[in-house]
Structure 1
Amino acid sequence: MGLSRKEQVFMALLGASGVAGLTALILLLVEAASVLLPANTKFGIVFDAGSSHTSLFLYQWPADKENGTGVVSQALACQVEGPGISSYASDPAQAGESLQGCLEEALVLIPEAQHRKTPTFLGATAGMRLLRQKNSSQAKDIFAAVSQVLGRSPVDFWGAELLTGQDEGAFGWITVNYGLGTLVKYSFTGEWIRPPEETLVGALDMGGASTQITFVPGGPISDKSTQADFRLYGSDYSVYTHSYLCFGRDQMLSRLLVGLVQSHPAALLRHPCYLSGYQTTLALAPLYESPCVDTTPPLGLPQNLTVEGTGNPGACVSAIQELFNFSACQGQEDCAFDGVYQPPVRGQFYPLSTANATVWEFCQRSWKLVEASYPGQDRWLRDYCASGLYILTLLRDGYGFSEETWPSIQFRKQAGGVDIGWTLGYMLNLTGMIPAEAPAQWRAESYSVWVATVVFLVLTLVAVLGAAAVQLFWVQD
C-alpha cells in the first residue's frame, strides 16, 4: 500500500532536515580541520654547517601566528652526505653541491607555490671558524660556493654566515626552552602565561670543534662578554654563555693524540684510550694541521705512526686532563678552566651528547669483544672510550658539576619534538618569529562563535521545515 500525500510530504521534509543536519555536521568537521590544521602554513629552512657534517632542518608554523604566539614545529631533519663544508677547502664548489640532496627533500614537503616565500639560511660554526683562522681566503670561497647554490635554488635565500660561539650557545638555549615550553605556556584559563624562572633549563652543546655552555645564573654576570640578553614573549632574559673552541669532540681527539705523541715520541704509540687489542696506522702530518695544535712533530718520527690500544681508563683520564688548563683558575672565584669566567652552574641541563654511566667498564673491554658486539661501527667504536671519559671530565672538572648537581643533567636529542641545537633559535631570531605576548585565543573564540552560528541555522531550518509539515497536515485535514 502506497504512502498518502501527507506522509510523502512529511518524509520529504524529514529527509531535507536530515540532509541539512548532515551538511552542517560536515561543515563543522571541515571547519574544525581548518582550525586545527591551518591551510596557509609557513616554512623555514636552516642549514647547520658543523665541523664534521651539515644538517638541514625544515620548520613550519601557522601563518596567522607569525607575530603572535605561534607554535613552530620541526617537519624534517636531513643529514647532508659527506663531511662538513670546511672539509672542501680544496674544492669549494663541492661544498655547495653537497647541499642539493637535502634541499630537494625539503622542497618536496613545501607546496610549490610557497617555495619562493620560504626563508632559507646557512649558519656555519666552529669548523669554519677554524678554517677562517687557518686560511681566510679558503673560508671565503666556501661561503661563496654555498651561497651560489642556495641563491639559485627556488627559495628565499637570506644568506650564509659564520656564527660566533656566543650566538651558537645562546640560540641553542632558546631552542631548548622554546621546545620545552619553559618560556611561555597556555594555561587552563585560556591565557598565555610565563612559567616560573626556575623551570628554565640550561643547554650544553658538544660539537666536533667546539663546546658551549649556557644557563641563567643565580646572580649578576660579572663578565659582560659572557652575557647574552633576549626579550622573549614580553619578558627579558640574561643568560651566561661561553663557547670553547678546540674543545669539541673531534678536535679533542686530535689534541689528545698529539699530546700522547709529544710526551712519548716513538714509532709505536701505546694509546690508553683505545681498547686493548686495537691497532692502526695513522699519518702523522695531518694531526698537526689544525689551528688547535700549536706544536710541531718530534724530530725523527716516521711519517706513519703505529698506534696500539691499552684500554687503561685511569691513564686515559690523566691524558685528557692535560688538555685543560685548570691552574689558570687558581685564586679566581667563579672560574671554569683556561682562566674563563663562569658562575656556578644552576638549574636543569640538557646536553646534546650521550655519556655512558658505565664508560669506565667499557674502556676495559677488549677490542675483539666490542667489535663483535657492534658490527659495522669500527669507524666510531675506537673513540667511544675517550669521548665518554672526556665528557665526564668536562662536566665534572671543567664546568664544575658535582654529585649534588649531576642529577640535574639530562641527555636528550630532542625537546618538545624538535632537535636540540641552535638552528630553531637562529631561525626565530632572523625571521622575527620569536613569539610576542599576544595570545592566539581568537582561534578558539572564533571557532566557538562559528559553531554556535551553524547550530542556530540548523535548528532554525529544522523548525521551519517542521512548521511547514504541521501546516501541510492541517491543510490536508
Structure 2
Amino acid sequence: MDLSNLQSRVSSAYIPPHRTQLHPRMHTFSSLSPPNNQPKSHSNRDKWLILAASLFVVPFLFYLFTIARGVHQSSKFGESKPKLFGIIIDAGLTGSRIHVFEFLNEGMTPFIGLDGTGSSSLKVSPGLPRFANDPESAGQSILGLIEFAKKRIPKSEWKDTKVQLMGTGELEKLGLDSREAILESCRRVLRSSGFLFKDEWAAIMKGQEEGLYAWVAANYALGTLGGEPQETTGVVELGGASMQVAFAPRDPPPMQFSRIIKLAGVTYNLYIQSMPHFGQDAVWESLGEIQNSRDMLTFSSSGEGIAGNPCIPRGYDLTSNASNAKLLASQPVGNFSACKSEVMALLKRRQEKCVHPPCEIVSYFLVEFLGKPVPPDKFFYISEFFGLVPKASLSELESAGQHYCEDDWYKLKNQHHGIDDLDLLRYCFSSAYIVALLHQSLGITMIDKRIGFANQSGSTPLDWTLGAFILQTMLE
C-alpha cells in the first residue's frame, strides 16, 4: 500500500465533502413566468412594493456582511486547531531514543502526519543496560533527550505533555537491584523535566506489549485500525531482544498468547507471541561473541573461507569504539553474502540448542500464517533500517545491504551524515539478518513489498513506539 495515498485518505476523513443542491420545488418557482393579463395598476403597485422592500433589505444584508467579516477576521476564527504533544523514550540495548510526537486529537483516533511532520527523534549511546555497574549515571544519559524535546515543544505545553520511558527486554536481564536503581535514576530526571510524569511511566515493557504496539502502528499506517478484525493486517516485528508476532486470527487464540483490546468501538482478540533471542540486537551480540571466540571459520557454514567479520564494513576502526570491543574483536572484511551465511548458521544453531522455549522460528503462528486461516498477504514486516522508502522488497533491501557491507567505511560516513556510527555500522548486519530470516527461514519472496522500515532519519517511525503512543492516547 502506498503510504502517501494512505495519508491523503486519513486527512480527508476530517474534512467531509459538502454538497449544496437546489430543492426541486425551487425549480418550480424559478420557472414561473409573470402572467400577462395583470392590470397595469397592479404592476405599478408591485414596483413600488419591490422598491420599498429593497430599502429595508439592502441595509440588512450590509449589516450581515459586516458581522460575518468581523467574525472571520477575529483571532478565534483564524487560529489553527491546537496541536498536542507526547514523548516516548525507547530504552534499548545500544542506546536510548526519544520520540516527540505532534498530533491532532480529533475523533476516536489521533491524527499524526506520517510524512515526517508528525514526530522527531534523537538517539544517545550507550543504552541503559550498560549502566549496570554505575546506575546513578543512567539518568544523566537521558538529559540530552529531555533538552531535545524542550526545543520542539512550546513551553506552555510542557505541563500537559506526557513523557514515558519504556525499557526493552535487555534491562530485564539485569539483577533486580541494578534494574530498579537505573530506572529510579531516570525517574528523578523525568520528575524534574517540567513534563507530565508519574513514576509508573518509567518501566520495563514486556515482549507481548511490544508486539501489540507494533500491530497498532502497522494497522494505523495501513488505514485498517478501527476496521473489522479480519480486515486488519498481522505484523512481524524484528525487534531488539526478541521477534514479535501479532495478528487477529479467525478463532480465539490460546490463553497464553491472547490479548483483547477495544479500539474505536471494535474489539480485537489478538494472537501475540514474543520469540526471545531472535531480535536484531540479540543476534548481533551473539554473532559478535562468536567472532570474539576466534572460532568463526569452524562455525561458519558459508564455505567461502573469509577470515574476519563479514558483517562489518572494510575500513572501520575497531579501536574507535572500545565500549563495543566485545562485539567487534575481529577484522572487518565487509561481505554481504558471507554475512548472510553467518547469520543463517547462527539462527540454525540457536534453534538446535533451544533451552528456553519458544525458540523455534516455525511455531504455531507460522502454521497459521503459512496456512489458509491467515494468508501471507495479510502480514506486514517491520524493522529499523535507513535509506529505504517506508515499504520495500527484500530484493531492494539486499541491494542496499551490499552497499552497506561492501563500501568503504569512510565513504559510508560521508554519504550518510547525521547517522550514529553504531547504527550505520549495523546496517550491513541488519540487512543480511532480515533477508536471511524472512526469505530463507520464512519463505517470503524477494519481490514482496510488505517490508516496513522504521526510518529514523527524521520521518515518523513505523515501529512499536508509534503504536504505543496511538494506543495509549486512544485509551485515555
Per the normalisation by structure 2, the TM-score is 0.65
The reply on whether 1:43 has 2:85 as its aligned counterpart is yes
Question: Contact (CA 8 Å) 2:311, 2:333: kept in 1 or not?
Answer: yes
Q: Does residue 97 of structure 2 align to residue 55 of structure 1?
A: yes
Residue 233 of structure 1 and its aligned partner are, at CA, apart by 1.5
- Aligned CA distance change for structure 1 residues 349 and 276 (closer, same or farther; 3 Å): same
C-alpha displacement of 1:169: 1.0
- Contact 1:80/1:102 (8 A) holds in 2: yes
Q: Gapped runs of 5+ residues in structure 2?
A: 1-53, 299-305, 353-357, 370-375, 386-392
Measure the CA separation in 1 of the matches of 2:423 and 2:261: 38
Q: Aligned partners of 2:192, 2:276: CA distance in 1, in Å?
A: 33
1:212 to 244, 258, 261: 244
Q: State the aligned residue count.
A: 382
Q: What amino acid sits opposite 1:69 in the alignment?
A: M
Partner residue in 1 for 2:465: 423
**Which residue, 321, 338, 360 being the options, matches 1:337?**
360
SS at match of 2:193: coil
Residues 120 and 460, structure 2, Cα contact 8 Å, conserved in 1: no
Match of 2:395 among 349, 352, 357: 357
- For 1:112 and 1:372, the matched residues in 2 are separated by 40
> Paired residue for 1:319?
342
CA contact (8 A) 2:382 2:463 kept: no
How far residue 286 of structure 1 moved from its aligned partner, in angstroms, is: 6.0
State the 1:252 CA deviation. Answer: 1.6
Q: 1:351·1:409 contact (CA, 8 Å) conserved in 2?
A: yes
Q: What is the alpha-carbon distance in structure 1 between the residues aligned to residue 183 and residue 77 of structure 2? A: 43
SS at match of 2:331: strand
- Are positions 1:155 and 2:195 aligned together? yes
Please give the alpha-carbon distance, in whole angstroms, between the structure 2 residues aligned to 1:362 and 1:72.
32
Amino acid corresponding to residue 319 of structure 1 in structure 2: E
Residue 331 of structure 2 aligns with an amino acid whose one-letter code is V
1:100 aligns with 2:143: yes
Given the alignment, which residue of 78, 81, 84 partners 2:124? Answer: 81
Per-residue CA shift, 1:265-286, capped at 9, x if unaligned?
A: 89x9533444678785798996
Q: Which moved more, 1:268-277 or 1:83-92?
A: 268-277
| 1:323-349 deviations in Å (ceiling 9; x for gaps) | 2248969xxxxx982574324334041
Taking structure 1 as reference, are residues 83 and 23 closer, same or farther at Cα in structure 2, changes over 3 Å only? farther
**What displacement does 1:17 show?**
6.4
| Counterpart selection for 1:183 from 217, 220, 225 | 225
- Does the Cα contact within 8 Å between 1:273 and 1:363 map onto a contact in 2? no
- The answer on whether the counterparts of 1:211 and 1:248 sit within 8 Å (CA) in structure 2 is yes
Greater RCO between the two (CA within 8 Å, min separation 6)?
1
For residues 22-41 of structure 1, the aligned pairs below 5 Å read 22-28=66-72, 30=74, 33=77, 37-39=80-82
For each residue in 1:381-422, what CA deviation from the matched residue of structure 2 results, as whole angstroms up to 9, or x when unmatched? Answer: 654443222111211344x243399344444649xx842222
- Unmatched segments (≥5 aa) in structure 1: 1-9, 185-193, 289-303, 330-334, 436-477
Measure, in 2, the Cα distance between the counterparts of 1:152 and 1:97: 12
Residues 285-332 of structure 1 show CA distances to partners (whole Å, capped at 9, x for unaligned) of 9639xxxxxxxxxxxxxxx9542527371x433321232248969xxx
Partner of 1:229: 260
Residue pair 2:351, 2:359 contacting (<8 A) in 1 also: no
Distance between the aligned counterparts of 2:259 and 2:312, measured in 1? 39
Distance 1:380 1:45, change over 3 A: closer
CA-based RMSD of the aligned residues comes to 4.4
Question: Whole-Å Cα distance in 2 between the matches of residues 231 and 280 of structure 1?
Answer: 49
Match of 1:299 in 2: none
Q: Which stretch of structure 1 is more off in the superposition, 169-178 or 157-166?
A: 169-178
Q: How does 1:1-400 map to 2 (within 5 A)?
A: 21-28=65-72, 30=74, 33=77, 37-39=80-82, 42-60=84-102, 69-73=108-112, 75-130=118-173, 132=174, 135-158=175-198, 159-184=201-226, 194=227, 196-221=228-253, 223-260=254-291, 261=293, 263-264=295-296, 269-274=307-312, 287=326, 305-309=329-333, 311=335, 313=337, 315-325=338-348, 337=360, 340-343=363-366, 344-345=368-369, 346=376, 347-354=378-385, 357=395, 369-371=407-409, 373-376=411-414, 383-398=426-441, 400=442
> In 2, Cα distance between the equivalents of 1:276 and 1:167?
38
Alpha carbons of structure 1 residues 169 and 305: separation in structure 2 relative to 1, 3 Å: closer
Structure 2 Cα separation of the partners of residues 107 and 228 of structure 1: 35
The secondary structure found in structure 1 opposite 2:125 is: coil
Cα gap change, 1:37/1:386 in structure 2, threshold over 3 Å: closer, same or farther? same
Q: C-alpha displacement at 1:23, in angstroms?
A: 4.2
Match for 1:434: what amino acid? L
Residues 236-269 of structure 1, C-alpha deviations (whole Å, 9 max, x = no match): 1122222233333233222123335364489x95
Show CA shifts across 1:334-366 (max 9, x none): x98257432433404141334762666677789
* Matched position secondary structure for 1:406: coil
Change (3 A) 1:23 1:180: farther
Match of 2:40 in 1: none
SS of the equivalent of 2:182 reads helix
Q: Which residue type is aligned with residue 307 of structure 1?
A: Q
Say if 1:311 and 1:69 are closer, same or farther in 2 by CA, change over 3 A. Answer: closer
Q: Judging changes above 3 Å, is the alpha-carbon distance between structure 1 residues 177 and 364 closer, same or farther for their aligned structure 2 residues?
A: closer
**Structure 1 CA distance, aligned partners of 2:127 and 2:177?**
17
Per-residue deviation, residues 79-138 of structure 1 (Å, max 9, x unmatched): 1433322223333333223333332343455454543333322111133133x2xx3322
- Contact 1:201–1:350, Cα closer than 8 Å, also in 2: no
Aligned residue for 2:360, secondary structure, equals: coil
Task: State the distance in 1 between where 2:383 and 2:406 align.
Answer: 29
In 2 relative to 1, CA 337–29 (structure 1 residues): closer, same or farther, beyond 3 Å? farther
Match of 2:475 in 1: 434
Deviation at 1:146, TM superposition (A): 0.5
1:9-37 CA-to-partner distances (Å, cap 9, x unmatched) read x99x9899657524413414658856x83
Change in 2 beyond 3 A, CA 1:264/1:56: closer
Sequence identity percentage:
24
User: 1 or 2, which has the higher strand percentage?
Assistant: 1
Deviation track 1:445-465 (CA, whole Å, cap 9, x = no partner) reads: xxxxxxxxxxxxxxxxxxxxx
Matched residue SS, 1:171: helix
Q: What amino acid is the match of 1:118? A: T
Partner Cα separation in structure 2 for residue 45 and residue 249 of structure 1: 24
- Is residue 53–residue 83 contact of structure 1 (8 Å, CA) maintained in 2? yes
- Could you tell me how far apart the structure 2 residues matched to 1:418 and 1:262 are? 40
Q: What one-letter code is carried by the residue in structure 2 that aligns with 1:210?
A: S
Q: Give the Cα separation in 2 of the matches to 1:365 and 1:80.
A: 24
Contact 2:288 2:329 in 1 (8 A): no
Contact 1:278 1:309 in 2 (8 A): no
CA contact (8 A) 2:316 2:332 kept: yes
